[in-house]
Structure 1
């Protein structure tokens, strides 16, 4: 895929940051010295960590140069590094690992979660949330369009790129032996957006990227037109003209 686009991602900054706020509210640590924001993106989640723990050394980690550029502009006095979490190790003494909507993109992420949690000292916290929405119309329809004859050759692999997340019990059994405390829950958000086109704009910044990045401009326009038509049918307007994007997310707070 092409690099992430920070500007596209931040079109819905308030709604995208809301789960990070909700996750952070459940982190029990009071005064950590070192905190890492894994998959920090454009720094919107990192800013929450800095606000809560102004005395901590907070670092952001991401694979995207464009996201890191935006994060450094937002928080110029904090450290951001370009790294893949699958090959990254937290600095010694890190007390909080915070991950907002990143591990769904990481192959074999359960293995990585166990590795990162194992590396923490006792009392350290791994706090994460991930979209759990592959069975929502927004994602079912992008796969359906991709498998139409016109795009099947180019996009069949994209349609199979991500597996659904494991059930909560799988996370529990994998992480609980490493934890003194483990909390797992789902929250379903219903984001009020300005019509079906806004839903398309939302997913263009995240889940739709593997489907549109391989296409040239005419094919991309045609794919988006077909997808938007299906989104309009799946998400009818409310009384005020808004549409509700139903968005389930899974949250995990693990204390070593």
Structure 2
């Protein structure tokens, strides 16, 4: 599945807010090695390099299209680099001080089973901060799945979309972190995004959750699916006088290894 970096950052001001709410809870003072798991186009990884100028900051992502956008950021900061890597094959080194994963682990099957090993590999005092979607039960996602599972589309889209169990809730992540010998904090936030323009929720999900459908269908069928899905979204998220309100629920968890 290819990613479209331009579409992903279309609602950049809305999408970056959870990142800063997450990283504000990391109280590392002078880390030496910082990793951003699933860094996307790299713009937010660059803010970590600016926050900790004494650290070597590396962004990892499995999408060549996304990483192509990171080159300018890497050129502008001597302590910043990016590598192509599948998160599922990654392990922290003994020198890793901070790990950030923002809106990426939902794409990694089995990440909740991997998390204890990642935490166990961290040295005492190291941090691990994650943020994943908490809105798989929202109309934006349930309507997409229901349409994909309908008689008209099931034959072409069976097994393409993820379901709510691809991520845990805040309590589950908190338990994993505490069991791993960490001090931990977990919470959920619902942002009420006010989106402008026509069919804004469709535009939003085109950059993320709808990508597997678009990748699985030829162009004409993708357009047909989008048209049906868009009509459902317009009913679920009606435009108001000030725009379309889109509740955007996120799950956060931050751990610090004891010792």
Interval of TM-score (by shorter of Structure 1 and Structure 2):
over 0.9
- Cα distance in structure 1, aligned partners of 2:24 and 2:174: 21
- Cα distance in structure 1, aligned partners of 2:29 and 2:82: 23
Q: Which residue of 2 aligns with 1:39?
A: 38
Q: CA RMSD in A?
A: 1.5
Query: Is the contact between residue 42 and residue 70 of structure 1 (CA under 8 Å) also seen in structure 2?
Result: yes
- Cα distance in structure 1, aligned partners of 2:115 and 2:217: 33
Q: Which residue of 2 aligns with 1:205?
A: 207
Q: Which residue of 2 aligns with 1:146?
A: 148
Q: Which residue of 1 aligns with 2:139?
A: 137
- Cα distance in structure 1, aligned partners of 2:194 and 2:181: 37
Render the CA deviation track for 1:12-39: whole Å, top value 9, x for unaligned: 1111111101111110111111100000
Q: What does 1:14-163 align with in structure 2 at a 5 Å threshold? A: 14-76=13-75, 77=78, 78-160=80-162, 163=165
Q: Which residue of 1 aligns with 2:222?
A: 220
The number of aligned residues is: 254
Partner of 1:163, secondary structure, is helix
- Cα distance in structure 2, aligned partners of 1:28 and 1:243: 36
Render the CA deviation track for 1:173-216: whole Å, top value 9, x for unaligned: 32202234100000111111124522111111111111221111
Of the structure 1 ranges 44-53 and 27-36, higher mean CA displacement relative to structure 2 is found in 44-53
Query: Is the contact between residue 141 and residue 227 of structure 1 (CA under 8 Å) also seen in structure 2?
Result: yes
Of the structure 1 ranges 183-192 and 110-119, higher mean CA displacement relative to structure 2 is found in 110-119
> What stretches of structure 1 move > 4 A for 4+ residues in a row?
none
- Cα distance in structure 2, aligned partners of 1:181 and 1:173: 10
Query: Is the contact between residue 196 and residue 231 of structure 1 (CA under 8 Å) also seen in structure 2?
Result: no
Of the structure 1 ranges 75-84 and 25-34, higher mean CA displacement relative to structure 2 is found in 75-84
Structure 2, unaligned runs of 5 or more: none
Of the structure 1 ranges 67-76 and 123-132, higher mean CA displacement relative to structure 2 is found in 67-76
Q: How far apart are residue 150 of structure 1 and its match? A: 2.2
Structure 1, unaligned runs of 5 or more: none
Of the structure 1 ranges 29-38 and 45-54, higher mean CA displacement relative to structure 2 is found in 45-54
Q: How far apart are residue 228 of structure 1 and its match? A: 0.5
